[in-house]
Amino acid sequence: MKERVIRIQVGLATILVATCGIALIFLFGALPDFGISTYGLMVKFPTAPGVHPNTPVQKSGVTIGRVHDVRLDDSGSVIMHLDIQDQYQIRQRETFRIRTGSIITGDALIDVVNLDEQGLLSKFDNNKDDLLSDDEIKEANQVLAEGTVVENGLVVDDPLQVLISMQENMANTFGSIQEAGGGIDQAADEFRQLMKNLNASFGDNEQGLKEAIEKTNNAMAEFERAMVSMNDLVGNEKTQANLKRASEQLPMVLADASATFSRARDTLDSLDRAGKLAENNLAHLERVTKPLGERGEQLVESITSSVEDFDSMVTQMNQLATAMNRKDGTLSRLIHDRELYDNFVRTSRNIEEASVKLRPILNDLRIFSDKIATDPRQLGVSGALQNRPIGSGFKPVPR
């Protein structure tokens, strides 16, 4: 009976341990993804703290894959093989970043993040103009194919390591403060030595010493009054409230200053790009003006000759206009003499009427000449007596 109870207890303990193990696997996300199709990518990191096979790969907080294996190459860099689910796509403008997932366990997470502006320009700005063209943006948005090697993976510093670095910096700071304290002690010794020298100097002149002491007392009194005024000023509730508001607004002022510096940096970058464009335009203009400078004398001579020809043409036109305006000229008389103009009009009309009347005569002459050419005997008496129809005689054969 006792042995049976022991077996039941051992079985229950085994079931409890297995249940706890499965729960821990689900809790820490170490359960592999079964039945999900994936594709492989390789990422190169300088280091891989806390990364091991089956480490999650996340994008915007969503697990999209896991680490398949981790190995070192000959240069000491870390090469990771990642299994990414087929439903998620990684683009050229994205990279992988290792960060601490849990401070307690030291496990890491791998995030998919977008490259910053400087990283995009460094990777895709092929023409080095500090701007991404449409083709370069299209290249940045391309999907990574299976087996692609992603260079220059990012690693976020461990918070504990940052705290250790801060501790070291604080130790250095305290050391500097200690050194400053030693300098203050040395200055105090020098001040005491100075007072001894002053005491020795004023030992023979008691009156001068009294005047010096009186002036010192007056200076101390003035200093005391100044400190009282400062205390009244700082101790005022209104002043304290103003100082508090000023201290509260200081982060916003610093943030505005940072934004202003950022905009100023962007403005300087724009001016730099504008300067480069202006330099390119000047280079193009130089290529245009260089041939003009080389052929300057010929161009000046051509322009001078053209101006002289134009001047000569204007002179001739002026002479023509002068001749037309002369009263005794033919054109002037035709324009100004009404009777001559009417005669010219009547003559042109008569010529037009004569041409109309001459047209039938010319047609008859054409017909007559055609008949004579067909049968020349019609010009004689025998031809008229025979009274043969026109065209029935001998016709020459055309050659």
CA distance 381 to 389: 15
Q: What is the pTM of this model?
A: 0.37
Residue 344 confidence (pLDDT) above 50:
yes
Structure tokens at 57: 């790969």
Give the pLDDT mean for 18-30: 64
Task: State which amino acid sits at residue 33.
Answer: D
Average pLDDT over residues 2-12: 76
Tokens of 234: 């700082």
| 71, β-bridge pairs | 79
For 250-301, the pLDDT digits (tens) are 777 677 777 777 777 888 888 788 778 878 877 877 776 777 677 767 777 7
Amino acid code (one letter) for 26: F
Contact 48, 78 (CB under 8 A): yes
DSSP code of residue 129: S
Domain residue ranges in the chain = 1-31, 36-158, 174-200
- In this prediction, residue 381 carries a pLDDT of 47
Phi-psi bin for 152: left (phi > 0), alpha (psi -120 to 50), beta? left
Q: Distance between CA 264 and CA 257 in Å, rounded?
A: 10
Cβ–Cβ < 8 Å for 67, 53: yes
- The pLDDT mean for the chain works out to 76
Residue 119: pLDDT over 80: yes
pLDDT in tens, 60-108: 889 999 999 999 988 889 999 999 999 999 999 999 999 887 766 667 8
* Neighbouring C-alpha atoms within 13 Å toward the C-beta of 23: 6
Residue 82: closest CA among 104, 59, 61, 102: 59
- pLDDT category at 303 given cuts 50, 70, 90 is confident
The answer to whether 42 and 80 have CB atoms below 8 angstroms apart is yes
pLDDT given at position 168: 64
Helix then strand then coil, % of the chain, to nearest 5: 65, 15, 25
Please answer whether residues 7 and 56 qualify as being in contact, where contact means their C-beta atoms are separated by less than 8 angstroms: no
The CB density around residue 78, as the number of other CB atoms within 10 Å, is 19
Instruction: Output the DSSP codes for 64-123.
Output: EEEEEEEEE-TTS-EEEEEEEETT---BTTEEEEEEES-TTT--EEEEEEE--HHHHHHH
Least reliable range by pLDDT among 3-17, 26-40, 52-66 = 26-40
Confidence of residue 18 (pLDDT cuts 50, 70, 90): confident
The whole-number pLDDT of residue 43 equals 93
Non-local (6+) Cβ contacts of 272 within 8 A are: 130
Strands 94-100 and 78-85: unpaired
Give the pair of three-digit tokens for residue 49.
């703290």
